[in-house]
């Protein structure tokens, strides 16, 4: 049903757990495509043994190049971008399939809802089931994951995200000028908006556990906020607040942002650019 693209960088225990959860907890069969950065920890040998499709680079190419390379061999109509430190919960794909069926269009951007141990995001469920492989309480997660209350929410940009392959190619995928990848999620969402997407929906019942930042802490980060501002003429906070209405309860297709407000925000953005 889905092509699930997962970039990974010498994170073999986590990517093993991620793929295992997809195989165990999915209602449908999916294509899994890894992009293996470096792979000196044995990830490539394991992927070959498991018969998993993959692309690779000899060093860490970053998120943007990785997901684009993996998407290049996707065989299904819908592409899911997922982090390697995620564990999918039962029925995660069932709820996505229902949303796809009911959307009435292929021009959408959906996200599953993350369950995270650290509370710093209004779009996630805050519950602690471990921060690494050794402390992961899989049994507790499986017993409780369906009991948490979480409505659908506006502002889908975070993995796991799902878009139609057609729109991945229309927008050009993830922008490599943002490598290694800070702010690339919002940039891709902005490109989807430019392509006419007005459905940015987080699915409250589709859930994954996220161990959080198992690769990003190891990279030298790009100045994504400044790059987004220079590229689009507005800040990420303006995009999230006035375009996608991030974290607000989902209530249907998004309206166009108010033009007078947008002029003020663009003026503020221009002043930031000038000062910088």
Query: Is the pLDDT at 275 greater than 60, yes or no?
Result: no
Beta bridge partners of 54: 34
Q: How far is CA 97 from CA 23, 108, 135, in A?
A: 16, 13, 32
Please state the rounded mean pLDDT for residues 224-232: 92
pLDDT in tens, 159-179: 999 999 999 999 999 999 999
Alpha helices per DSSP H over 56-118:
63-71, 92-103
pLDDT in tens, 43-82: 999 999 999 999 999 999 999 999 999 999 999 999 999 9
Query: Is the pLDDT at 5 greater than 90, yes or no?
Result: yes
120 — pLDDT class (breaks 50, 70, 90): confident
Predicted confidence at residue 149, as pLDDT, reads: 95
Placement of tokens 């394991």 in the chain: 46
pLDDT in tens, 177-200: 999 999 999 999 999 999 999 999
**Average pLDDT for the chain:** 93
Q: Find out whether 223 and 183 touch, Cβ atoms under 8 Å.
A: no
Non-local (6+) Cβ contacts of 167 within 8 A are 106, 107, 192, 195, 197
Distance (Å, rounded) from C-alpha 33 to C-alpha 224? Answer: 26
Q: What angle do CA 111, 117, 123 make, to 5 degrees?
A: 30
3-state secondary structure of 74: coil
Closest C-alpha to 146, from 191, 105, 205: 205
Predicted confidence at residue 271, as pLDDT, reads: 61
Query: Is the pLDDT at 258 greater than 90, yes or no?
Result: no
212 — pLDDT class (breaks 50, 70, 90): confident
Distance (Å, rounded) from C-alpha 181 to C-alpha 62? Answer: 6
User: Around 126, how many Cα atoms within 13 Å sit in the side-chain half-sphere?
Assistant: 6
Query: Is the pLDDT at 153 greater than 60, yes or no?
Result: yes
| Overall size of the chain counted in residues | 276
Distance (Å, rounded) from C-alpha 203 to C-alpha 77? Answer: 19
Q: Tokens in use for 168?
A: 């991945």
Q: What angle do CA 175, 178, 180 make, to 5 degrees?
A: 110
Query: Is the pLDDT at 219 greater than 80, yes or no?
Result: no
Q: Tokens in use for 249?
A: 């309860």
Q: Find out whether 246 and 240 touch, Cβ atoms under 8 Å.
A: yes
Q: Which domains does the chain have, with CATH numbers?
A: 2-275 (3.90.550.10)
Q: What angle do CA 34, 121, 93 make, to 5 degrees?
A: 45
φ, ψ (nearest 5 deg) of residue 248: -75, 150
Query: Is the pLDDT at 270 greater than 70, yes or no?
Result: no
φ, ψ (nearest 5 deg) of residue 99: -65, -40
Distance (Å, rounded) from C-alpha 108 to C-alpha 44? Answer: 33
Q: Tokens in use for 190?
A: 């902005």
Predicted confidence at residue 10, as pLDDT, reads: 95
């Amino acid at each position: 049903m889905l092509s699930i693209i997962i970039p990974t960088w010498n994170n073999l225990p986590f990517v093993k757990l991620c793929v295992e959860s997809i195989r165990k907890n999915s209602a449908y069969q999916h294509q899994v495509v890894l992009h293996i950065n470096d792979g000196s920890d044995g990830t490539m040998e394991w992927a070959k043994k498991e018969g998993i499709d993959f692309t690779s680079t000899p060093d860490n190419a970053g998120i943007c190049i990785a997901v684009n390379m993996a998407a290049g061999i996707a065989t299904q109509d819908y592409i899911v971008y997922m982090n390697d430190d995620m564990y999918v919960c039962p029925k995660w794909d069932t709820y996505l399939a229902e949303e796809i069926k009911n959307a009435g269009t292929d021009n959408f951007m959906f996200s599953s809802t993350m369950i995270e141990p650290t509370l710093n995001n209004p779009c996630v469920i805050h519950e602690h089931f471990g921060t690494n492989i050794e402390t992961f309480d899989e049994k507790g997660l499986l017993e409780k994951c369906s009991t948490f209350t979480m409505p659908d929410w506006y502002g889908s940009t975070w993995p796991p995200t799902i878009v139609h392959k057609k729109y991945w190619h229309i927008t050009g995928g993830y922008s490599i000028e943002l490598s290694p990848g800070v702010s690339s999620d919002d940039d891709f969402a902005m490109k989807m908006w430019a392509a006419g997407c007005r459905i940015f929906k987080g699915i409250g019942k589709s859930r994954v556990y996220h161990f959080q930042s198992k690769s990003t802490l190891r990279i030298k980060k790009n100045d994504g906020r400044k790059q987004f501002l220079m590229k689009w003429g507005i800040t990420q906070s303006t995009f999230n607040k006035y375009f996608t209405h991030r974290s607000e309860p989902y209530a249907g297709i998004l309206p166009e942002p108010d033009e007078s407000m947008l002029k003020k925000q663009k003026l503020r953005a221009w002043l930031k650019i000038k000062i910088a």
